[in-house]
Chain A
């Protein structure tokens, strides 16, 4: 399924997943070479445009992390295409793959686990440069100082070890390392969820500043919708390996259309006692079903407060709405219309 871009004259996207499916084997091979498989991504399609922040949100097991890792080609999709800067990198290997990965860098969730405690900060930040053989020792050292300054760390941080830094400062080190090679796309996978509230804001602001100054494109993977509202331009909501709604930020937060988006938003506690105690909630029953045997029809129907007979039988397609957003729901795109109008994929 090819999805139209949200803007009228779409510039070529920087990166795209095009109907990408990724499966993992989750039990030992049986005698036929089979075994249970988990479809972590099921025909996922999205574009990331130059200079924007696209957020992928969803709960555990939604596939948001897999989507990011597939983009950087840590995983090779079973079907669909991964496109970066106009080139198909779906099956890139060797030097091609290395060239691809150089242009995408990652910031990880846990600033304690993602920095080697035995390496000095300057070696941590210079490692991508060394790995790609960029510059002389001295040039690399200069670049490290530039980078530390860019992320708001003092120059003397270079000679110290990670343990000397707080969680927020460590995350800055992780960002500096990710920027070392001057990537086109930064994938930040839950970059603030391990941090204290007062520090989260510092890192969110840093990423926004860096985007303004360097023209970075950002794929921001997070479960915290309040953080996402403060950083994303567009948001894709994922559930059990599929995108259920993809919309511009304000449209999504002001008027969520998919019942899952609505319930996610209503489940986020708001730090305002009057509002928090009086607002209407869509509390979902039950839990996310197993991705090994997802429900038939709409994958959300087992928890959806509005599920109808169609939802149990027919899988809804992601369809464009008048405001340009995409929604996969039979309530929003009634099946009767679909049989005449919108073609099947």
Chain B
């Protein structure tokens, strides 16, 4: 998985803040990660964890009240934060592809499917219109859209949710990006369609050697797709490890709690699910110290006062926790 060439995407100490009525609120509070070509990083978290804001920060597509206030983002060594808006527009799409949860809003409703793909090809690949149209049909075929020639002249609303999401993948892949950001790409889909789309993403990633950041709340999806997982809580990465390690020897109480809370199809049935008490904090009300301490069964005094740093506890396994967590209780 790892290669000499260095990461396709690297994020270092990223901080993103939003201006609100009650002052500035940090949605992302100093996170770092990198993704190698051909590798999938799963970014897992609940609402308000900062996972989507991270994606929007990488794309520099934050809403007007949001701002990157610290850190660095680079694509294959190229610093994105120093680029002009115009230069950034070329990077988006061409070098970073994106797939969002809701393809009804990410696709343009008044352009045909064909136009949206050829636009990406003509803008980023400088193809002639005829070549772009042929290539668009090939791409639709590749992402499993039946009758691609006919679909080219259809509009997004004429397609089912599953097909629309395949088209969104085709649009993202058209310019041949090195990095794909997929933010809850299957959350709006039925489970049998989700299985199809995940298979498609995996296949495309392997054949294209793309670096993929898969943002999801679904631990099952991550288990099947990611090489490494970063768990986010209240704007921080609280645990980061290879997927298998994270699921077999989780170190952070939040990760433990999540794995315990999720209802499962495998394993014995319990009378009660192990819920985590309370709720994830809104970004304007992040607790002092370790942001998870009010919900943590292992919290002690220090957790209320000092925020723990993400520290390596084993080889390539890091957690941000003061307690020596061994076993779930």
Which A residues contact B (CB, under 8 angstroms)? 59-60, 166-169, 196-202, 204-205, 208, 223-227, 229-230, 253, 263-277, 281, 283-284, 286-288, 303
Query: Contacts A270-B223, A273-B224 given: A226-B194 contact, CB under 8 Å?
Result: no
Q: Which residues of B contact A224 (CB under 8 A)?
A: 263
Extra contacts, 19 of them, besides A229-B265, A276-B224, A277-B223 (Cβ < 8 A), are A169-B279, A196-B280, A197-B258, A197-B261, A198-B46, A200-B261, A201-B276, A205-B273, A224-B263, A226-B262, A270-B223, A270-B224, A271-B247, A272-B223, A283-B196, A283-B199, A287-B163, A287-B193, A288-B190
Residues on A with C-beta less than 8 A from B280 are 196, 198
Interface centre among A204, A229, A230, A284 (most CB of B within 10 A): A230
Q: Name 21 interchain pairs, CB-CB below 8 A, sorted by A.
A: A59-B191, A60-B190, A167-B279, A197-B46, A197-B217, A197-B262, A198-B46, A227-B263, A229-B264, A230-B263, A264-B192, A266-B195, A267-B192, A267-B195, A270-B223, A271-B223, A271-B264, A272-B266, A281-B195, A287-B162, A288-B190
Whether, in the assembled complex, B129 has its beta carbon less than 8 Å from a beta carbon of chain A, the answer is no
**Does B47 make an interface contact (CB < 8 A)?**
yes
Interface residues of B in 215-268 (CB under 8 A from A): 217-224, 243-244, 247, 257-259, 261-266
Partner of B263, one of A229, A264, A283: A229
* Interface: B272 (CB within 8 A): yes
Nearest chain B CB to A153 CB, angstrom units? 13
- B160 adjacent to chain A (CB < 8 Å): yes
Residue B1, interface by CB 8 Å: no
B218 / chain A contacts, CB cutoff of 8 Å: 269
Q: How far is the CA of A163 from the CA of B310 in the complex (A)?
A: 33
Is A230 within 8 A of B269, CB to CB? yes
Which residue in chain B gives the minimum CB-CB distance to A277? B224
Chain B residues in 8 Å Cβ range of A271? 219-220, 222-223, 247, 259, 262, 264
Contact B275 A270 (CB under 8 A): no
Knowing A226-B263, A271-B223, A287-B162 are in contact, say whether A196-B272 is a contact too (CB < 8 A). Answer: no
Interface size on B, residues (CB 8 A): 47
Residues of chain A within 8 A (CB-CB) of B279 are 166-169, 196, 198-199
CA distance A263 to B193 in the complex (A): 11
Interface residues of B (CB under 8 A from A): 46-47, 146, 160-163, 190-196, 198-199, 217-224, 243-244, 247, 257-259, 261-266, 269-270, 272-277, 279-280, 295
Would B219 and A287 count as touching, CB distance under 8 A?
A: no
Which of A59, A196, A265 has a CB less than 8 Å from the CB of B217?
A196
The 8 closest A-B pairs by CB, nearest first: A269-B220, A201-B275, A201-B273, A59-B190, A271-B219, A198-B276, A166-B279, A196-B46
Q: Are A269 and B263 in contact (CB under 8 A)?
A: no
A residues near B259, Cβ cutoff 8 Å: 271
Which residue of the partner chain A has the closest CB to B254? A198
Neighbouring A residues of B262 by C-beta, 8 Å: 197, 200-201, 226, 271
Complex Cα gap A284–B189 (Å): 14
CA A196 to CA B199, docked complex, whole Å: 25
* CB of A171, distance to nearest CB on chain B (Å): 11
Report the Cα distance A295→B72, complex, angstroms.
55
The prevalent SS among residues of A at the interface is helix
Judge whether A225 and B195 touch: CB under 8 Å.
no
A59 to B189: give the CA distance in the assembly, Å. Answer: 9
Query: How far is B270's CA from A286's CA once the two chains are assembled, in angstroms?
Result: 35
Tell me the bound Cα distance from A275 to B223 in angstroms: 9
Task: Report if A267-B194 is in contact (Cβ < 8 Å); known contacts: A276-B220, A277-B224, A287-B160.
Answer: yes
CB distance from B120 to the nearest CB of A (A): 25
B273 touches A273 (CB 8 A): no
Query: Bound state CA distance, A341 and B316, in angstroms?
Result: 64
Q: Which of A166, A196, A268, A273 contacts B191 (CB 8 A)?
A: A268
Q: How distant is A208 from chain B, measured CB to nearest CB, in Å? A: 7
Indicate if the CB atoms of A276 and B190 lie closer than 8 Å. no
In the complex, what distance in Å separates the CA atom of A94 from the CA atom of B16? 57
- With A and B bound together, what is the CA distance between A229 and B51 in angstroms? 29
Choose from B192, B199, B223, B277 the contact partner of A276 (Cβ within 8 Å): B223
- B276, A263: Cβ atoms under 8 Å? no
Q: How far is the CA of A281 from the CA of B195 in the complex (A)?
A: 9
Contact: A59 with B263, CB < 8 Å? no
Expressed in whole angstroms, the minimum distance between the Cβ of A65 and any Cβ of chain B is 14
A306 to B218, CA, bound (A): 30
A270–B220 touching, CB < 8 Å: yes
Best-buried of A60, A196, A202, A288 by chain B (most CB within 10 Å)? A196
CA distance A335 to B84 in the complex (A): 69
Q: In the docked arrangement, what's the CA distance between A265 and B162, Å?
A: 19
A334 to B22, CA, bound (A): 68
For the complex, what is the distance from the CA of A28 to the CA of B264, rounded to whole Å? 44
Q: Contact partner of B195 among A230, A283, A288, CB < 8 A?
A: A283
CA–CA, A223 and B194, complex, Å: 13
